[in-house]
């Protein structure tokens, strides 16, 4: 039992100065007799005993030899090795011993480097969340390029981490910086390096083509040595804390506009971490003079692959279906895709082009392709008429649900809605359907009235060839004397 230093001093004073007995001191200070004897040095010395034999003793040399060759060997693996050799102790005992004797790793010493202007650009990605898209959601990534000397940062939000996306971002970043650094430093993702053994690496051929176009040397960090591209790693942290923290990104275009504004208004004017009296923008002006000039023609970064058009005159790309003319069904086409556009080519002829859809499992169909199929498949007129309405206004499905609940004929309602679409045009029809859904209505007469109100509000005439169908015969309209309407009816 231990006692405070003040009690020990009082015990020694009472014993040596006042000559109190041990029992009297113990009672007076409310401590045990052995505590008094220990403080006064009156306890007999402990009996010498030899070290306690442990079950682990015969295996300590073996364990030490294994840890010398393999310092990171786990205790459970050592347990599996000594168990067949006769060890009968617990793995807990082994863990305590291994933690005591494992060689401590030698701390790595880093060399501080200051690259030359225009010498190196560091590239990386970071995951910043997900975005809901039609049919599901997509992961959102930010691509970063940092000039190692000036710390100038360029970044953009992307949906994919393919080599095509990497090449597009590299071209945009290099164009924004006004030139290219002599080295591009990457980590070791599959989009960059296909195989690596030690210092030998096989880069992706598309990346090599792009690097050759810009006269740049691609380089890789050592495996597990992310500190070698510390400038871009620090830029990732900077964006997470200053740009993306507390910011909700709802769509890619808006997110990239906000990111570009942040880079221009906050990231560039920030103080340079080395040249304290200058901003990053000031140092970038100096470094741009040392960058490699841009080539005369930009590099091609579109993704090109062969696709087969199925029997529904559609091709599948990135989980989505894109329509082609019915004549191309069953043929093998060439798909050329950027991040904004999808083109389908047969030989030298472009057969179709669409905006790039980033949704999942969506059907992107051009009206002229559907009209051609309708012409070939007259029997499917009603269903295709409904598809025409759905392609123009997906929310019309809610109106169809109300028609079903009201017991209306979907065939008649589809024909009626297509008639209104032909009569008033897409803009007026879309506005009318949206308003009738907001009001909770479903009556076709109300839909027609809303279309007419919109037509009058915009002062748009109804085409006579639509208002009066071709089957109505020409007739002379005999005018009446309007004064007769004022006379009372004769009995």
pLDDT in tens, 315-333: 999 999 999 999 999 999 9
- Kindly state whether residue 114 falls inside one of the protein's structural domains: no
Contacts of residue 85, defined as CB under 8 A and 6 or more positions apart, other chains included, come to 59, 62
pLDDT tens column, 14-73? 888 888 888 898 888 888 988 888 888 888 776 654 445 578 888 888 988 898 888 888
Residue that terminates a domain, selected from 368, 389, 418:
368
Q: Is the pLDDT of residue 438 over 80?
A: yes
Contact 110, 222 (CB under 8 A): no
- Kindly state whether residue 416 falls inside one of the protein's structural domains: yes
Q: Is the pLDDT of residue 433 over 60?
A: yes
Determine the pLDDT at residue 485.
60
- Residue 247 CB neighbours (<10 A): 13
Task: Indicate the Cα dihedral angle 117, 123, 126, 131, nearest 10°.
Answer: 110
The residue-averaged pLDDT of 107-115 equals: 63
Determine the pLDDT at residue 489.
59
Same domain, 256 and 391: no
Same domain, 402 and 256: no
Q: Is the pTM of this model over 0.85?
A: no
Regarding predicted confidence, which is higher, 10 or 379? Answer: 10
Same domain, 159 and 197: yes
Sign of CA dihedral 362, 406, 374, 433: negative
- Kindly state whether residue 486 falls inside one of the protein's structural domains: no
3-state secondary structure of 121: strand
Q: What percent of the chain has pLDDT over 90?
A: 41
Same domain, 183 and 252: yes
pLDDT tens column, 287-305? 999 999 999 988 999 999 9
- Which residue range is the domain that position 339 belongs to? 303-368
Same domain, 256 and 125: yes
Same domain, 229 and 332: no
Residue that terminates a domain, selected from 368, 392, 417:
368
The residue-averaged pLDDT of 440-460 equals: 86
CATH of the domain at 199: 3.30.420.10
The residue-averaged pLDDT of 94-116 equals: 76
- Kindly state whether residue 481 falls inside one of the protein's structural domains: no
pLDDT tens column, 400-429? 888 888 888 888 888 888 888 888 888 888
Same domain, 310 and 350: yes
Determine the pLDDT at residue 51.
47
Mean pLDDT, all residues of the chain: 86
The residue-averaged pLDDT of 436-444 equals: 88
Please report, for residues 155, 265, 310, 445, the alpha-carbon distance to residue 262 in angstroms, rounded to integers and kept in the order given: 10, 5, 45, 51
> In which residue are the tokens 């650009």 written?
121
Determine the pLDDT at residue 227.
65
Same domain, 266 and 238: yes
- Kindly state whether residue 271 falls inside one of the protein's structural domains: yes
Tokens of 393: 């206004």
Please report, for residues 270, 336, 423, 471, the alpha-carbon distance to residue 463 in angstroms, rounded to integers and kept in the order given: 61, 40, 8, 16
- Kindly state whether residue 476 falls inside one of the protein's structural domains: no
Same domain, 151 and 65: no
Same domain, 143 and 203: yes
Q: What are phi and psi of 158, to 5 degrees?
A: -135, 160
Residue that terminates a domain, selected from 228, 254, 288:
288
Contact 337, 356 (CB under 8 A): yes
- Kindly state whether residue 490 falls inside one of the protein's structural domains: no
Same domain, 459 and 395: yes
**Domains in the chain, number:** 5
- Kindly state whether residue 460 falls inside one of the protein's structural domains: yes
d(CA 226, CA 303): 30
The DSSP bridge pattern shows strands 341-346 and 303-308 to be unpaired
Determine the pLDDT at residue 50.
44
pLDDT tens column, 125-173? 999 999 999 888 999 999 999 999 999 999 999 999 999 999 999 999 9
Q: Is the pLDDT of residue 269 over 70?
A: yes
Task: Indicate the Cα dihedral angle 315, 318, 321, 322, nearest 10°.
Answer: -70
Predicted confidence band of residue 12 (pLDDT cuts 50, 70, 90): confident
Same domain, 217 and 280: yes
């Amino acid at each position: 039992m231990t006692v405070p230093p003040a009690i020990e001093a009082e015990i020694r004073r009472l014993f040596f100065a006042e000559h109190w007995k041990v029992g009297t001191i113990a009672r007076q200070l409310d401590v045990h007799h052995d505590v008094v004897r220990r403080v006064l040095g009156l306890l007999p010395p402990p009996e010498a005993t030899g070290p306690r034999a442990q079950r682990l003793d015969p295996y300590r040399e073996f364990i030490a030899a294994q840890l010398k060759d393999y310092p990171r060997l786990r205790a459970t693996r050592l347990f599996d090795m000594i168990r067949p050799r006769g060890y009968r102790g617990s793995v807990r005992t082994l863990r305590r011993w291994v933690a005591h004797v494992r060689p401590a790793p030698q701390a790595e010493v880093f060399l501080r480097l200051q690259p030359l202007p225009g010498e190196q650009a560091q590239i990386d990605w970071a995951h910043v969340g997900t975005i809901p898209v039609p049919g599901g959601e997509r992961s959102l990534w930010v691509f970063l390029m940092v000039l190692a000397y000036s710390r100038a940062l360029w970044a953009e939000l992307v949906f994919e981490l393919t080599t095509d996306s990497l090449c597009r971002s590299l071209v945009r970043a290099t164009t924004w910086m006004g030139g290219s650094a002599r080295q591009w430093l990457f980590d070791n993702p599959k989009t960059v390096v296909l195989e690596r053994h030690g210092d030998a690496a096989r880069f992706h051929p598309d990346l090599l083509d792009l690097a050759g176009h810009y006269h740049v040397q691609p380089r890789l960090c050592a495996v597990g040595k992310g500190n070698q591209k510390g400038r871009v790693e620090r830029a990732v942290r900077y964006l997470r804390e200053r740009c993306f923290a507390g910011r909700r990104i709802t769509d890619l275009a808006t997110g990239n506009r906000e990111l570009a504004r942040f880079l221009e208004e906050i990231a560039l004017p920030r103080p340079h971490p080395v040249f304290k009296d200058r901003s990053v923008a000031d140092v970038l002006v100096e470094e741009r003079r040392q960058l490699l000039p841009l080539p005369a023609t930009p590099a091609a970064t579109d993704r090109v692959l062969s696709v087969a058009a199925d029997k529904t005159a559609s091709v599948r790309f990135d989980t989505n279906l894109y329509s082609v003319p019915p004549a191309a069904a069953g043929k093998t086409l060439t798909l050329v895709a950027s991040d904004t556009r999808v083109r389908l080519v047969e030989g030298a002829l472009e057969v179709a082009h669409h905006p790039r859809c980033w949704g999942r499992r969506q059907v992107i169909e051009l009206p002229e392709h559907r009209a051609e199929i309708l012409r070939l498949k007259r029997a499917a007129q009603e269903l295709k008429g409904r598809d025409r309405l759905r392609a123009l206004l997906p929310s019309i499905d809610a109106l169809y649900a109300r028609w079903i609940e009201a017991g209306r004929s979907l065939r008649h309602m589809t024909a009626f809605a297509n008639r209104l679409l032909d009569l008033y045009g897409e803009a007026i029809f879309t506005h009318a359907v949206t308003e009738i859904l907001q009001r909770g209505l479903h009556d076709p007469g109300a839909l027609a009235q809303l279309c007419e109100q919109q037509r009058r509000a915009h002062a748009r005439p109804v085409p006579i060839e639509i208002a009066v169908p071709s089957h109505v015969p020409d007739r002379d309209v005999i005018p009446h004397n309007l004064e007769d309407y004022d006379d009372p009816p004769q009995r």
